[in-house]
Amino acid sequence: MRTRTRTLTGVLAAAALVAAGCSPTTDDSGGDDQKTKTQSGSISYQAADNQGPAKPVDGATRGGTLTVMQPADFEHLDPARNYVNTQQVAGGLLYRALNGYQEDGTGKLLLVGDLATNPGKDVNGDCKVWEFTLRDGVKYEDGSPVTSKDVAHGIARSFAPALNEGPHYLQQWLYPGGAYNASYQGPYDGGKPAPDGVTTPDDRTIRFTFPQPHCDLPYAAALATSAPVPAAKDTRANYDLRPFSSGPYQVKSYQRDVALELERNPNWDPATDPIRNAYPDSVRMTFGLEQAQIAERLVADGAADQAALSWTDVPPSVLPRTTGAGVADRVVKGPTQYNWVLSINTQRVTDLTVRRALNYAVDKDALLKVLGGQAAGSPATTLMSPTTAGFQKYDLFNAPVTGDKAKVAELLAGKRPKLVLAHSNLELRTQQAEALRKNLTDMGFDIVMKPIDNSSYYDEVGRKDNPYDIYLSGWGSDWPTGSTVIPPVYDGREIVAEGNQNLSYLNQPSVGAEIDRVRKLPAAEQDAGWMALDRTIMQEYAPVVPCYYDATYELHGSKVGNAVLSDAFGIISLNGIYVKK
């Protein structure tokens, strides 16, 4: 999944999720006082884990308004288009997927049924046919029942070319081997109500039949793609502004770029929900403040901000003020699964020598210093992060973290490529882009900077015909295997007109063929296969410059209770959070 354009502090260190077909791994490549954090996870079919209500949080109280302060608005809340971690956590208050995670911030993740009574039944034992049974008593905000046909419609509409910014696992698995929506583009304009392979025998049952085995479907079913959307409430592109609630909250008001106000969904029944406590009476998300302003207010802990938090990491200018008494205990930090890279648009930068020169040129240390120096992360050399199962560190270029000017000059051989650098218009992202501009200019490139509004950043660079050559992007595994990094980000067969996840637009038949081969390997061999392909892609095509592995460093007010880091999303979780009296 994508991470928001944000400042990052802390060092990514370790770990793994034990998923179907995955093996645990740890990597102690990290540094600072966060030490190594190992994630562990499992899929639970135990009745006690899958039954609601969610386990109570010690000392939690019901009531109050929680405020989330963000510099910029969300790009999307529509579940078909929701693929940035902040949006996913916010969306999880409004709608429920088939599955979800129980977590407490300790690194332990438990996958259980959310809408479904359990994480799914492998009907034939070959991972090709999966069946989910929906819970009794799950209702929308108007009191009508959630049905399996609503889940099927939600999946079907995600094939629409205009709603394609979200995850594509289900779509690709139903229609493998090429562009997922080449033959089926959803129910709009006369399309079938559901894609091939998705059936609803009754109102509480949905069945998936895949051409090939997919043993990690329970994890894919935890993504927003499987959230229900009743056809009668489907407003297509406008659904972004008013998703129809199946979760504990509903939209009260939404003024783009100003505030999103959520109030309780009166028809949400906690007895049906094993994941969310929904302690606050309301949640207010505000947009438009600079990162430093947000951090200063949270440090000061004024009366208006005591029940507030931010998913924006504390910027360098405020970091020194977060270590003292009364503030340090309000910091939430830890490693995440994200890797930040400088994506190179290979449609425009077609010369492999130039792309390799960029890998020698980028000053990773300068990028990190903008975000707080060594505490902001650790330099990356791979496509996948150390949290990925089977991770093995390698460094093909062996350049100093500040770059290798002599090697760049050798590769460019007197040429001075002109490149357009796109960047988010957030203050620190602009500073980071300026540092990159100075760095690359000194290394022998001509750089033109182009700012993009943060609320549409990934939409803009995700357009196939975008006019940019290079841009920073962050990606993390949806569950810690290479199958959630390499195929979505580097399979050129999935490139479409808009909403791309392959932001380097790498389109190499050999990569697609190897993706298909690795997917068919025995589960125990896939991790090594993805890692080998990680290296091959960098060695043969250099479509990105790996920049840094990240962690998070967020702050909350003194009246926010149970603010823990979500290991599934890399930011403060809202599922068990509460407002202190």
Tens-place pLDDT, residues 470-518: 999 999 999 889 999 999 999 999 999 999 999 999 999 999 999 999 9
Question: Residues of the chain with pLDDT > 70: what percent?
Answer: 92
Q: Pairing between strand 470-476 and 418-424?
A: parallel
53 is written with which tokens? 């209500």
Return the amino acid letter for 337. Q
Structure-model confidence comparison of residues 41 and 139, the more confident one: 139
CA-wise closest residue to 6 among 257, 313, 356? 313
CA distance 12 to 51: 34
The pLDDT tens digits for 292-325 are 999 999 999 999 999 999 999 899 999 999 999 9
Poorest-pLDDT segment among 33-47, 214-228, 391-405, 468-482:
33-47
- Residue-level pLDDT at 520: 87
Residue 17 pLDDT greater than 60, yes or no = no
CA pair distance 436, 98, nearest whole angstrom? 42
Is 312 strand, coil or helix? coil
Which is more confident, 176 or 19? 176
As a whole number of angstroms, the distance between CA 132 and CA 206 comes to 5
The answer, yes or no, to whether residue 103 has pLDDT greater than 50, is yes
Residue 4 banded pLDDT, cuts 50, 70, 90: very low
Q: What's the pLDDT score for residue 2? A: 66
> Which domains are assigned to the chain?
1-581 (3.40.190.10)
**Residue 81 neighbours by CB under 8 Å, 6+ apart:** 75, 163, 164, 165, 166, 240, 499
207, pLDDT greater than 80: yes
Query: What pLDDT, on the 0 to 100 scale, is given for residue 7?
Result: 28
Mean pLDDT over the full length of the chain = 91
Residue 22 confidence class, pLDDT cut points 50, 70, 90? very low
Q: What is the mean pLDDT of residues 114-141?
A: 97
What confidence tier does 18 reach under pLDDT thresholds 50, 70, 90?
very low
pLDDT attached to residue 11: 25
Supply 428's token pair.
Answer: 């620190």
Which are the contacts of 424, defined by CB distance < 8 A and separation ≥ 6?
Answer: 5, 430, 451, 452, 453, 454, 457
* Residue that wins the pLDDT comparison between 37 and 397: 397
Q: Choose among 128, 122, 115: nearest CA to 155.
A: 115
> What pLDDT, on a 0 to 100 scale, did the predictor assign at position 15?
29
Quote the percentage of the chain above a pLDDT of 90: 83
CA–CA–CA angle 211, 215, 216 (5° rounding): 115
Q: Which pLDDT score is estimated for 3?
A: 60
pLDDT at 545: 98
d(CA 535, CA 93): 39
Name the band, by pLDDT with cuts 50, 70 and 90, for residue 405: very high
Residue 288 Rama label (left phi>0; alpha psi -120 to 50; beta): left
| Beta carbons of 508 and 541 less than 8 angstroms apart | yes
Residue 170 · residue 134 · CB < 8 Å: no
How many residues does this entry show for the chain?
Answer: 581
The pairing of strands 470-476 and 544-555 is unpaired
Task: Write down the pLDDT at residue 37.
Answer: 39
- Taking the model in full, what pTM does it have? 0.86
* Chain segment 437-453, per-residue pLDDT in tens: 999 999 999 999 999 99
pLDDT in tens, 27-84: 333 333 333 334 456 899 999 999 999 999 999 999 999 999 999 999 999 999 999 9
How many C-beta atoms surround the C-beta of residue 256 within 10 A? 12
> What pLDDT band is residue 14 in, cutting at 50, 70 and 90?
very low
Q: 443, 381, 363, 439: which is closest to 407 by C-alpha?
A: 443
Asked if the model's pLDDT at residue 527 lies above 70, the reply is yes
Q: Give 313's DSSP letter.
A: P
Beta-bridged to residue 41, according to DSSP, are: 109
**409 backbone dihedrals φ, ψ, rounded to 5°:** -60, -40
